[in-house]
Amino acid sequence: MEYVSPEGLRLDGRRPMEMRQLRAELGAVSRADGSAVFEMGNTKVIAAVYGPREVQNRSQQINDKALIRCEYTMANFSTGDRLRRPKGDRRSTEISLVIRQTMEACIMTHLMPRSQIDIFVQVLQADGGTRSACINAATLALADAGIPMCDLVTSCSAGYLNSTPLLDLNYVEDSAGGPDVTVGILPKLDKVTLLQMDAKLPMDIFENVMQLATEGCKAVANYIREVLLENTKQLENRRGV
């Protein structure tokens, strides 16, 4: 199947280096300390952060750091077929662990000892790149909750089909069987916190694909920064003097 037409257009009309449209909204869950809805094209994800609050399970309390817990779920209606997914299935557990480790790298946990931060991420619509969208949504929600972080974490995926590196794969391109590289970076510090790939790639092509994904991450970071700044200004203006 042709994933990149001879004119250089993909199945949804994008260019190979083009990302899907981003949209972010803060404060979707009013009960949570911080929450965000993040959309990358048709993939829509909601994240809610509770904390820092008292550790619920005393035995897990860490004396000098905050405990970070993360849970990733997909809503029943998120995929094409309404699937009844068991909550602890392997993919969800793996992605929960991945998101937790990624966020733990950037949250300044030593500032909040003996407390707990819960991150709940749920996929409302899945169209490829759910992992990346979840990490971006979690970053927004953490910033909304006022939890100190050393840098924003942004993530984007890229693949390699029809001998072209493609940025931000959607579901059809993802299920084509080609490699899918997910990268998570700290844009200001220019460090990589997440790197996953699920196929084989020769080294030089891998470098290209990873470079493409990193640039996608930086674009997401600019957008997130704008959204957060706008939100901060709005809150400060409303509050008045």
Partner 1 sequence: MRGMELSLNHTQKLRLQRALESLESFSSATNSNASVTVADSIPVNQEDGVLKGHGTTDLDGEVVATVCGVIERVNKLVYVRTLRARYKPEVGDIIVGRVLEVAPKRWRLEINFSQDAVLMLSSMNLPDGIQRRRTAVDELNMRSIFEENDVVCAEVRDFMRDGSLQLQARSQKYGKLEKGQMLTISPYLVKRRKQHFHHLEQYGIDLILGCNGFIWVGEHVEIKDDMIEDEPTPTKPDAKSNKSQISQSLEEQEQTYTPLETRENICRIANAIRVLSTLGFSITLDVILEIVDLSTKKGLDIHEMLGAEFCVLVAEKEAERRSSSTQKKR
**Residues touching partner 1, count (CB under 8 A):** 43
Binding status of residue 192 toward partner 1 by CB under 8 A: no
Binding status of residue 232 toward partner 1 by CB under 8 A: yes
Would you say 173 and 3 are in contact if contact means Cβ atoms under 8 Å apart? yes
CB of 174 vs partner 1, minimal distance in Å: 30
CB of 48 vs partner 1, minimal distance in Å: 13
Which of 113, 178 has the CB closer to partner 1? 113
Which of 91, 188 has the CB closer to partner 1? 188
Binding status of residue 53 toward partner 1 by CB under 8 A: yes
Binding status of residue 97 toward partner 1 by CB under 8 A: no
Binding status of residue 113 toward partner 1 by CB under 8 A: yes
CB of 236 vs partner 1, minimal distance in Å: 5
Binding status of residue 190 toward partner 1 by CB under 8 A: no
